């Protein structure tokens, strides 16, 4: 795996949180994106080489809504960039990790993504992601 691509933070109110993180990081949010398939609205910040993704649920059934209900707002996942998501999914499967999707799915910010169950990774939801390359 390569670097940490971003850290995802679950929030209740995306606009209020955008204001907070703009002040905190002293930089503007560079992108907001609805990921309808995941029932989340997202906002992205870059600070140096690092990225933060804020996530607000769009439905009470969404993973983010359930997370906030159980644990409150906070770090929801850590995402690692990979070169070959299919190969990395196969490697993780062989290592015994439970993958939460059988094939890569379209995530936010032009990525294909796959999640690893937090029960297998000390309570931290792990995302692996690969940049989608348009030919």
Give me the residues that bind ligand CMX (CB under 6 A), please.
Answer: 8, 35, 38, 40, 42, 55, 63-64, 66-67, 70, 76-77, 100, 107-108, 115, 117-118, 123-125
Shortest Å, Cβ 43 to ligand CMX: 11
> Which one, 104 or 107, has the nearer CB to ligand CMX?
107
Q: Scanning the structure block, which residue is given the tokens 């209020």?
A: 16
Cα 108 from Cα 80, distance rounded (Å):
14
Query: Phi-psi category of 12—alpha, beta or left, where left has phi over 0 and alpha has psi -120 to 50?
Result: alpha
**Measured in whole angstroms, how far is the alpha carbon of residue 62 from the centre of its chain?**
13
> Which one, 29 or 64, has the nearer CB to ligand CMX?
64
Shortest Å, Cβ 97 to ligand CMX: 13
Tokens at residue 42, please? 């997202």
């Amino acid at each position: 795996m390569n670097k940490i691509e971003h850290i995802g933070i679950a929030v209740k109110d995306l606009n209020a949180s955008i204001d907070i993180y703009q002040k905190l990081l002293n930089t503007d949010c560079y992108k907001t994106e609805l990921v309808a398939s995941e029932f989340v609205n997202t906002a992205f910040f870059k600070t140096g080489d690092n990225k933060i993704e804020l996530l607000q649920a769009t439905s009470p059934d969404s993973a983010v809504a359930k997370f906030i209900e159980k644990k409150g707002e906070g770090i929801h996942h850590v995402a690692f960039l990979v070169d070959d998501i299919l190969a990395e999914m196969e490697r993780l499967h062989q290592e015994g990790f439970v993958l939460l999707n059988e094939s890569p799915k379209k995530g936010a910010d032009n990525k294909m993504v796959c999640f690893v169950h937090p029960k297998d990774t000390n309570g931290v939801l792990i995302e692996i992601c690969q940049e989608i390359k348009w030919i």
